[in-house]
Amino acid sequence: MTEETKSGADLLPPDRLAIRPTSPHFDADKLQRGVGIRFKGTVRTNVEEYCISEGWVKVQAGKSMDRKGQPLLLKLSGPVEAWYEDLGENPPVAKKD
């Protein structure tokens, strides 16, 4: 893989990402880099999962747990933007066009 291809692919986070290891959208390598999320114009730090193309985030619903001990999640709809925090000031932002 060339440096140009590698850097182009690594500039934007994936369309969908989750922090739960049991999710099919979990990717530890991408989470290690730090992913910033802006939802409806506000930077959020409590996002459990997001999807840019479908326009939603999932956040924990208080301290409620399901019967398997996992936190209950609320799905909120709206514009979602994501970026890698390790790219410094003014990183490229992935958002729905």
Q: Would you report the helix, strand and coil content of the chain in percent, each value rounded to 5?
A: 15, 40, 40
Domains of the chain: which residue ranges?
3-89
- Residue showing tokens 């140009």: 4
**Residues with Cβ within 8 Å of residue 96, at least 6 apart in sequence:** 52, 53, 55, 79, 80
Three-state DSSP at 3 gives: helix
Asked whether residue 84 carries a pLDDT value surpassing 60, the answer given is yes
9-56 pLDDT per residue, tens: 678 999 999 999 999 999 999 999 999 999 999 999 999 999 999 999
pTM for the whole structure: 0.84
The pLDDT score that the predictor gives to residue 79 is 96
Task: Name the token pair of 60.
Answer: 């924990």
Question: What digits encode the pLDDT tens for the residues 63-74?
Answer: 999 999 989 999
| Residue 4, pLDDT above cutoff 70 | no
